[in-house]
Amino acid sequence: MIRIGVIGHGYWGPNLVRNFAEQPDARVTRVCDRRPERLAPVERRYPGVGVTTDPVALITAPDVDAVAIATPVAHHLELAMAALREGKHVLVEKPIAATSDEASRLIDEAQRRGLVLMVDHTFVYTSAVQKMRELAQTGELGEIYYYDSVRINLGLFQHDVNVLWDLAVHDLSIMDFVLQRQPAVVSATGLAHVPGQPANIAYMTMFFDGGLIAHVHANWLAPVKVRRTLLGGSRRMIVFDDLEASEKIKVYDRGISVDRSPENVYQMLVGYRTGDMWAPQLAVKEALSVEAAHFLDCITAGTTPETGGDAGFRVVRLLEAATDSMTNQGRPVEIHGAVAL
Amino acid sequence: MIRIGVIGHGYWGPNLVRNFAEQPDARVTRVCDRRPERLAPVERRYPGVGVTTDPVALITAPDVDAVAIATPVAHHLELAMAALREGKHVLVEKPIAATSDEASRLIDEAQRRGLVLMVDHTFVYTSAVQKMRELAQTGELGEIYYYDSVRINLGLFQHDVNVLWDLAVHDLSIMDFVLQRQPAVVSATGLAHVPGQPANIAYMTMFFDGGLIAHVHANWLAPVKVRRTLLGGSRRMIVFDDLEASEKIKVYDRGISVDRSPENVYQMLVGYRTGDMWAPQLAVKEALSVEAAHFLDCITAGTTPETGGDAGFRVVRLLEAATDSMTNQGRPVEIHGAVAL
Amino acid sequence: MIRIGVIGHGYWGPNLVRNFAEQPDARVTRVCDRRPERLAPVERRYPGVGVTTDPVALITAPDVDAVAIATPVAHHLELAMAALREGKHVLVEKPIAATSDEASRLIDEAQRRGLVLMVDHTFVYTSAVQKMRELAQTGELGEIYYYDSVRINLGLFQHDVNVLWDLAVHDLSIMDFVLQRQPAVVSATGLAHVPGQPANIAYMTMFFDGGLIAHVHANWLAPVKVRRTLLGGSRRMIVFDDLEASEKIKVYDRGISVDRSPENVYQMLVGYRTGDMWAPQLAVKEALSVEAAHFLDCITAGTTPETGGDAGFRVVRLLEAATDSMTNQGRPVEIHGAVAL
Amino acid sequence: MIRIGVIGHGYWGPNLVRNFAEQPDARVTRVCDRRPERLAPVERRYPGVGVTTDPVALITAPDVDAVAIATPVAHHLELAMAALREGKHVLVEKPIAATSDEASRLIDEAQRRGLVLMVDHTFVYTSAVQKMRELAQTGELGEIYYYDSVRINLGLFQHDVNVLWDLAVHDLSIMDFVLQRQPAVVSATGLAHVPGQPANIAYMTMFFDGGLIAHVHANWLAPVKVRRTLLGGSRRMIVFDDLEASEKIKVYDRGISVDRSPENVYQMLVGYRTGDMWAPQLAVKEALSVEAAHFLDCITAGTTPETGGDAGFRVVRLLEAATDSMTNQGRPVEIHGAVAL
């Protein structure tokens, strides 16, 4: 029985509390929020859970084995570090930290102490993304050619981070999991329509070694909501539309075949292939529940997290590079140490 | 009665022939194609039309007042220049020429001789794009914030130009017409999945002076066909989906309002507004027919073309800049002389 | 402060408990279910609420002013009648009773005792249906020509009632509210694909006096989920698609105009009109919360329920007639006393 | 080389002329229309074709081997009979005749003379319908449970026939071909919103022997165009949406399985099955071209037409029964001689 403390009970925290409360092998023992009015619903719904406005009290409590952190990103380093230093396992909201350097420090600390450090890349635990990964990694798609994602809607303008840190972070975490490869160069463009504020519309291209390119369009100022990802391969291509109720993943037997035989050395032949479409049935499970169970399993069985600190680091490093490139209207920025952590 | 000669009778030429043949004030007198087998259907369908495999014969024929050119872009300069020098008005397929320098030379020649030089930016003559322009230019949308277009499908890989010259050219011509403004800086990224060939997937960002940004995604290797443009303004936003049968244009009363009053000088307030959606009824007319009539009107009444040589020049200049930026993974390229021609 | 007792805590009961619990002027004091295991979550979530497996105990409890009944329809008469006889106001799940005769008896009892009897026609309290009613009743649509609804999906086969009682009941309650008119004749057809069971696919036509026709298609065995209603008028027509996330109601300026002028007496002229489409912004409120507040208002302020016992009666009477017609392959069945109750 | 004469050059006739003109084994020799102005375009486009306003002249012309009839249905009997009596093969527009009795007479005449009599049920020759038939007849769908079709739009009100004869005729011809079974009983309802005119909205249920039911909704007064057919089987179900550009046919691995084993004699068990969806690639061919080739093949090789006079008869018989039932608000009408012709 793992005893969980949750810090931050705003928008996302209640989901963490509910999902950990429903795990047979866990118990939520404490919840912390600096705003007392955010704790009232906890007391009403979960009479046995201790509440506090002091995160240190939660972190140091003897009946807390693991800490889930759902605060603004500015506090991730401080809170996660304090928890690790108390010997507590940590699940932290995405992005894992405000900088890749902060992420590195958390990874080091967790590694040194043999603790689980996991980042809440929730989408990775959906049936749709698991299916995409399976199709990509088993070769069903052939050679992967591109990854293209649009994540736009009329969304809250944030004052501390640009739209990539809010929306593209989802795509980068999905991409990291599905492709199992890391970009070498990033070029990003964007604009802030409210002067003095972070960019609310942004475009981000990533170049990989080998013939693979990725792109994300993130926008807080779109009249319609779009959540659509294309994953193009030499054999098959996927359209992942997260707003589709029942057919989120469609697999198309379409593409081109390039004839590189010696006879055609002087003329590259491209053949077109169109074929069936197939929408696999996906399991209906709440992703956060799957993730909570996985976090517990990592603690008790020593499993390596699907979304460990290293995944969090890689995503933040891309966001940093994109933000950098964006201030220079798309000037490319190299990702150092792309392959190894 | 304007007598029209059409050069090039491959994919698009027959549409030019048919649409000019249906104009009450025009007559197609001659059609040229280098491939005799492409002329057979002309003779069958239009017994009175003279056919030839020699473009010079067509251009110099006394019964030709205006020449419509639908050949590969490599021949545009030579053929259009020859026609202008013979005193013939010219309508040329998009893109107007292979380089902006070539476009300039054509513009100069037409101007010097007082002839009509028009480029076939067909989309400009659709009811949907005319409606977008009207909404943008009458202030219905408020201040224009962004223009975002996706034009992708499983399309023929071309060997001489990259995908921007084939697909984005439509978006750039629409944008030029709707916004009536020109970008100052271009950043583009892309990739060729067939080695040694032009890029088949590309992303292109354009920065304008003032808070306006534009982006185009063009892709020959997509499993699904998408033709969707977002036009975001401070008061209203448009979604233009060209694949919608009956509601191509949707206007959303959605957006943000920024409070810049003095009291709020220390805190920028963003208000969110959601409201009705409205899909205006659009006239059902073939765009090329509207365009053909407009070309004739420019010749007879001296009207300035909606898509004159200058529009063709501006579009080609953007394609050049994007192709340049693309070879440098997004490095921004300035557009010189952005405001005036 | 109205004290509410809820009988039945299966699929729908928890929604009643939650929505009444959130009303400022109400308190849920007691919950009853015959299955003790269904009461455990109540005790966990609402520590102050008394639970019981005995409905009589709940009905007769002095701290219960009104009873909400969410049991199978077979128990509606007995429980609602018992509650009314104890002087308690009643909100009963749809359909109000198993027969129109039972519904009549409940109406009489409530009337005699001056108590509120309301049926939970939830859809009536959605913003979409309220908007349809407004457009229909203010003359925006012109003369109403037809009402057509499709409500199909792969749904649970029920053993006691046919698919009309499970699915069409929603459409009939919406129709009753939107049209404010009652059919004179019903013809229904259907089939049971599992021998010995009630029909799982059914079609139901309703004829009104004057030129109005209505039709409902209900189906438990459809591969896709459809929830779409067409409401056709002489001036405008509505498409209500309940599965659309943000544009549930679309109003079309389309239709025909019939020229009945004397000169055209020998030839009826039909003019076609196509025009804009408009999707009004709808308030985002949980229908059951609106309904709960309305029920409380009926009790305290004496307001007449939008969905009183009489609406419940009219819907059940139609279901009876349709079931009768269905056994005779569509033979029409007259509705007696269509206008008054 | 079969020489074709086409009678009727209004809306559909030009398609017949064009498709027969493109067949390698046929030649269109003559075209007839009572309105001389309808013949002008034939002379312009097809200089070698003889035109006439007199159908008898066409029918009796020695250079006509087969006659295609695309006139209003009122003339089908007279023209087709005259052609058969002249020893000409006949292809007639749907519906084959104004009454089933007329259809019978044509069938008899053709049979007696050993001539081909085919009805232009065009949809039968589309790839989508051919695929549906294949899936239904090879057992892929299991036992067929229902056929449900919606065919609605803002369409021209016709003055001589009700909406079933104009729209449902398509569904009935598809159904006849896909199911290879004939209904035993018909119940139909509908309404005319223009007084004195035929019904412009209609619903038609068909009962088959065995557990199969079919339904068609036809409507000339709908704000949106819908062309959607559901075909439900015990193993799989199909959604055929003719307005989908690229995925007209979707096959769902969804359904129920009924456990009829002896142990469950007292309780019927229904199991639910949800699974993948699959959209087969369909060939892109013009249906009328396939049909024209088939007609020629029937003449030259003696093949039995897929849509012979008997299919035309069966469809008309259903339309008659439905029209009859509709005048009695759904009263069921038996189809006599359902199995054999």
Q: Which of C47, C225, C243 sits opposite A47 (nearest CB)?
A: C47
pLDDT value of residue D265: 47
Average pLDDT of C253-272?
A: 65
Token pair for C115: 């108590």
Helix C76-85 and helix C100-113, axial crossing angle in degrees, nearest 10 = 10
**Contact residues on chain A for B185, CB-CB shorter than 8 A:** 329
* Closest C-alpha among C75, C103, C76 to residue C316: C103
Check if the beta carbon of residue C289 is closer than 8 Å to that of residue C83.
Answer: no
Chain D nearest-CA residue for B41: D45
Q: DSSP labels for C117-155?
A: EEEE-GGGGSHHHHHHHHHHHTTTT-SEEEEEEEEEEE-
Q: What is the ipTM of this complex?
A: 0.94
Contact A243 C245 (CB under 8 A): yes
In this prediction the pTM is 0.92
pLDDT value of residue C265: 47
Contact A281 D247 (CB under 8 A): no
Q: Which of A247, A275, A281 sits opposite D281 (nearest CB)?
A: A275
- pLDDT tens-digit readout, B36-68: 999 998 887 787 899 999 999 999 999 999 999
The helix/strand/coil state of B124 is helix
**Contact residues on chain C for D192, CB-CB shorter than 8 A:** 211
Check if the beta carbon of residue C30 is closer than 8 Å to that of residue C64.
Answer: yes
- Asked if omega into A55 is within 30° of 0 (cis), the reply is no
Helix B13-21 and helix B287-301, axial crossing angle in degrees, nearest 10 = 60
pLDDT value of residue B41: 85
**Contact residues on chain A for C47, CB-CB shorter than 8 A:** 47
DSSP structural state of residue B9 = -
Contact C279 B281 (CB under 8 A): no
Contact C145 D331 (CB under 8 A): no
Check if the beta carbon of residue C185 is closer than 8 Å to that of residue C333.
Answer: yes
Contact C239 D232 (CB under 8 A): no
**Contact residues on chain B for D47, CB-CB shorter than 8 A:** 47
Q: How far is A223 from chain C (nearest CA, A)?
A: 11
Q: How far is D47 from chain B (nearest CA, A)?
A: 9
Chains A & C: contacts with CB separation below 8 Å: 10
> Who's near A111: CB < 8 A, 6+ residues apart?
none
pLDDT of B268 strictly over 80: no
**Contact residues on chain D for B243, CB-CB shorter than 8 A:** 245
Q: Which of C45, C224, C246 sits opposite A45 (nearest CB)?
A: C45
**Contact residues on chain C for D168, CB-CB shorter than 8 A:** none
Q: How far is D243 from chain B (nearest CA, A)?
A: 9
Phi, psi of B298 (to 5 degrees): -65, -40
Contact D330 C211 (CB under 8 A): no
Phi, psi of D323 (to 5 degrees): -65, -40
pLDDT value of residue A257: 75
Q: Which helix (H) or strand (E) holds A50?
A: strand A50-52
- What is the C-alpha separation between B80 and B58, in angstroms, rounded? 12
Check if the beta carbon of residue B233 is closer than 8 Å to that of residue B255.
Answer: yes
Beta-carbon neighbour count of residue C250 at 10 Å? 20
Q: Which of C222, C224, C237 sits opposite D223 (nearest CB)?
A: C237
Check if the beta carbon of residue A91 is closer than 8 Å to that of residue A120.
Answer: yes
Contact A245 C225 (CB under 8 A): yes
DSSP structural state of residue B335 = P
* Closest C-alpha among B158, B231, B131, B183 to residue B333: B183
Contact A157 B194 (CB under 8 A): no
Radius of gyration of chain B from its Cα atoms, rounded to whole angstroms: 21
Check if the beta carbon of residue A151 is closer than 8 Å to that of residue A171.
Answer: yes
pLDDT value of residue A16: 97
Check if the beta carbon of residue D326 is closer than 8 Å to that of residue D188.
Answer: yes
CA distances from B240 to A256, B174, C176, C241, D34 (A): 29, 11, 38, 21, 45
Residues of D near A (Cβ–Cβ under 8 Å) read: 247, 253, 274-281
Token pair for C149: 């609804």
pLDDT of C274 strictly over 90: no
Phi, psi of C71 (to 5 degrees): -105, 175
- What is the C-alpha separation between D247 and D241, in angstroms, rounded? 8
pLDDT of A132 strictly over 60: yes
Interface partners of A (3+ CB pairs, < 8 Å)? B, C, D
Contact D270 C157 (CB under 8 A): yes
Q: Which of A274, A275, A281 sits opposite D276 (nearest CB)?
A: A281
Average pLDDT of A97-108?
A: 97
Q: Which of D154, D189, D268 sits opposite C205 (nearest CB)?
A: D189
CA distances from C162 to B176, B303, C300, D260 (A): 60, 70, 37, 20
- pLDDT tens-digit readout, A169-186: 999 999 999 999 999 999
Token pair for A48: 């046995």
Q: How far is A304 from chain C (nearest CA, A)?
A: 35
Check if the beta carbon of residue C132 is closer than 8 Å to that of residue C238.
Answer: yes
Contact B237 A222 (CB under 8 A): yes
- pLDDT tens-digit readout, C282-307: 998 999 999 999 999 999 999 999 99
pLDDT (tens, 9 = 90+) of chain D, 341 residues, equals: 999 999 999 999 999 999 999 899 999 999 999 999 999 988 877 878 999 999 999 999 999 999 999 999 999 999 999 999 999 999 999 999 999 999 999 999 999 999 999 999 999 999 999 999 999 999 999 999 999 999 999 988 888 899 999 999 999 999 999 999 999 999 999 999 988 899 999 999 999 998 999 999 999 999 999 999 999 999 999 999 999 988 999 999 988 877 655 555 455 567 777 889 999 999 889 999 999 999 999 999 999 999 999 999 999 999 999 999 999 999 999 998 644 44
pLDDT value of residue B289: 96
- What is the C-alpha separation between B169 and B171, in angstroms, rounded? 5
Q: How far is C189 from chain D (nearest CA, A)?
A: 7
Is beta strand D201-208 parallel, antiparallel or unpaired with respect to D185-191? antiparallel
Q: Which helix (H) or strand (E) holds A217?
A: strand A212-219
Residues forming a β-bridge with D146: D213, D232
Chain A nearest-CA residue for B193: A211
Average pLDDT of C259-268?
A: 54
Interface partners of C (3+ CB pairs, < 8 Å)? A, B, D
pLDDT value of residue A245: 85
- pLDDT tens-digit readout, A19-67: 999 899 999 999 999 999 999 988 877 878 999 999 999 999 999 999 9
Interface partners of D (3+ CB pairs, < 8 Å)? A, B, C
Please state the length of chain D: 341
Q: Which of A187, A192, A255 sits opposite B189 (nearest CB)?
A: A187
pLDDT value of residue D245: 85
Token pair for A9: 């009970």
Average pLDDT of C109-137?
A: 98
**Contact residues on chain D for A281, CB-CB shorter than 8 A:** 253, 274-277
* Closest C-alpha among D215, D217, D213 to residue D227: D217
pLDDT value of residue A155: 87
- What is the C-alpha separation between A56 and A64, in angstroms, rounded? 12
The helix/strand/coil state of B331 is coil
Is beta strand D89-93 parallel, antiparallel or unpaired with respect to D117-120? parallel
Average pLDDT of A122-133?
A: 98
Chains A & D: contacts with CB separation below 8 Å: 26
Chain C nearest-CA residue for B281: C276
Chain C nearest-CA residue for D330: C330
- Asked if omega into C95 is within 30° of 0 (cis), the reply is yes
Check if the beta carbon of residue A131 is closer than 8 Å to that of residue A280.
Answer: yes
Residues forming a β-bridge with A118: A91, A308
Q: How far is C234 from chain D (nearest CA, A)?
A: 9
**Contact residues on chain C for B279, CB-CB shorter than 8 A:** 276-279
The helix/strand/coil state of A148 is strand
Q: What is the 3-state secondary structure (H, E, C) of chain D?
A: CEEEEEECCCCCHHHHHHHHHCCCCEEEEEEECCCHHHCHHHHHHCCCCEEECCHHHHHHCCCCCEEEECCCHHHHHHHHHHHHHCCCEEEEECCCCCCHHHHHHHHHHHHHHCCCEEEECHHHHCHHHHHHHHHHHCCCCCCEEEEEEEEEEECCCCCCCCHHHHHHHHHHHHHHHHHCCCCCEEEEEEECCCCCCCCCEEEEEEEECCCEEEEEEEECEEEEEEEEEEEEECCCEEEEECCCCCCCEEEECCEEEEECCHHHCCCCEEEEECCCEEECCCCCCCHHHHHHHHHHHHHHHCCCCCCEHHHHHHHHHHHHHHHHHHCCCCCCEECCCCCCC
Contact A45 C47 (CB under 8 A): no
Radius of gyration of chain D from its Cα atoms, rounded to whole angstroms: 21
pLDDT of C70 strictly over 90: yes
Contact A280 D281 (CB under 8 A): no
Chain D nearest-CA residue for C191: D213
**Helix, strand, coil % (nearest 5) of chain A?**
35, 30, 35
- What is the C-alpha separation between A72 and A97, in angstroms, rounded? 10
Average pLDDT of C321-337?
A: 95
Q: Which amino acid is at D103?
A: A
- What is the C-alpha separation between D122 and D128, in angstroms, rounded? 12
Percent of chain C with pLDDT over 70: 95
Token pair for B188: 């583009």
Q: Which long-range contacts (CB under 8 A, 24 or more apart) does A266-269 make?
A: A268/B159, A268/B194, A268/B195, A268/B196, A268/B197
Percent of chain A with pLDDT over 90: 84
DSSP structural state of residue A37 = G
pLDDT value of residue A263: 54
Residues forming a β-bridge with B310: none
- pLDDT tens-digit readout, C164-182: 999 999 999 999 999 999 9
Residues forming a β-bridge with C134: none
**Contact residues on chain C for D211, CB-CB shorter than 8 A:** 191-193
Pick from C149, C150, C185, C193 the residue to mutate for testing the D interface (most D CBs within 10 Å): C193
pLDDT value of residue A15: 96
Chain B nearest-CA residue for D245: B243
Q: Which helix (H) or strand (E) holds A78?
A: helix A76-85
Chains C & D: contacts with CB separation below 8 Å: 162
Contact C270 D328 (CB under 8 A): no
Average pLDDT of A221-240?
A: 96
Contact D221 C256 (CB under 8 A): yes
